[in-house]
Structure 1
Amino acid sequence: MSDPEHTLPDRVRRAFRAHDSFTPAGEATWTFETTAFDATVTAEPTPEDDPRIRYDVVVRVPTLSAVTAEHVADVVEDGWTETFERRVVDVGGVTRGDHTFDPTVERADEEIVVRLSVTDLNERRGVDDAGALVDFVEGTYVQGVIPGYEYTAPVDSLISSARQQGGGGPF
């Protein structure tokens, strides 16, 4: 039985259902479907008498060497990862709400896990902001792709899509 004080309000579930990018993945977890990466958002009420909802965003992206057909030197991989981390933690200004972020970035083998949270009273804005955070991580990743490598899925399709949207310039 769930704790009534920590039960997710129906208004939050409705906001996720109304957003085109999310599909349910559990009682209070949704998958963000419009990214090439594994991205989930878990919503939970804040403690006590605070009516706001906390949206925990987790985005898993591959390391550079995990999506290239050829070997990537360790020094390049490490530099790329450090640059990605510096860029992705500079998340200010991508959300509709006025939020302070404390993102974390962890590297494990061939994966980088980015965690961000947003808390909001307005459920639609909170869901939109959670989606904007996922989009920001994806965009930051694509910005950091290094020309000259042959990329594999999902990065090859991201590059192709970016090229089409940008007018087909060279990469």
Structure 2
Amino acid sequence: MTETDADAEPPASRAFDAHDAFEPAEDAWRVVTTAFDAAVSAEPATDEQLRLWVTVTVPTLSAVTVDSVADVVEDGWAETFERRVVDVGGVTRGDGEFDPRVAVGDDGITVTFELRDGNAARAVDDAKALVDFVEGTYVQGVIPGYEYTDPVSDLLSAARRQGNDGAV
């Protein structure tokens, strides 16, 4: 690739390619560092800023438990997750405001953030931070007393190992 070819590549593409948490997909960049389905799509905004949509889909509580979950527990858990996941303050390095959208379905909960930033590298880092925030919020909301299946059982195992190592 010549220098002029690299210069012609959009800044978002260069930033995603340089970040080890993403791999290109047909219409977005997939996040490979989360147990959940997460992707980021991008387009240039008209005001010289990059515009990203960060989408993370997490399973419902009943989708990842061995035993059944009462409807009242499932509904309360989903409502609590939604309230917590839209409280994004301080997660990103950029100054952007977010208007998170949460859609609860039978098989999962999809959280979507719109992110704008004039700095592509920072925007990509912030997109990854938002994915991590959703994953962390999910894991913090896991209810003790249930036996969980993948991917939640793996996430809980990893959290226990990290806690036992004394890592922060």
Q: Would you say same fold, with TM above 0.5?
A: yes
CA RMSD in angstroms comes to: 1.5
**Structure 1 position 110, deviation (Å):** 1.7
Q: Could you tell me which amino acid in structure 2 is paired with residue 75 of structure 1?
A: V
Distance 1:168 1:127 in 2: 30
TM-score (norm 1): 0.90
Identity %: 64
Q: Deviations over 1:25-45 (max 9, x none)?
A: 125x10000000000000101
Asked whether 1:57 is paired with 2:49, we answer no
Asked whether 1:40 is paired with 2:33, we answer no
Distance 2:57 2:143 in 1: 19
Q: Secondary structure at the match of 1:98?
A: coil
Distance 1:112 1:168 in 2: 31
Q: Deviations over 1:57-86 (max 9, x none)?
A: 000000000000000000000000000000
Gaps of 5+ in 1: 1-7
Residue of structure 2 equivalent to 1:19: 19
Distance 2:56 2:11 in 1: 24
Go from structure 1 to structure 2 and tell me whether the alpha carbon gap of 1:127 and 1:121 turns closer, same or farther (over 3 Å shift). Answer: same
Gaps of 5+ in 2: 1-7
Residue of structure 2 equivalent to 1:147: 144
Q: Could you tell me which amino acid in structure 2 is paired with residue 41 of structure 1?
A: V
**Structure 1 position 92, deviation (Å):** 1.0
**Structure 1 position 46, deviation (Å):** 0.7
**Structural mapping, 1:117-156, within 5 Å:** 117-156=114-153
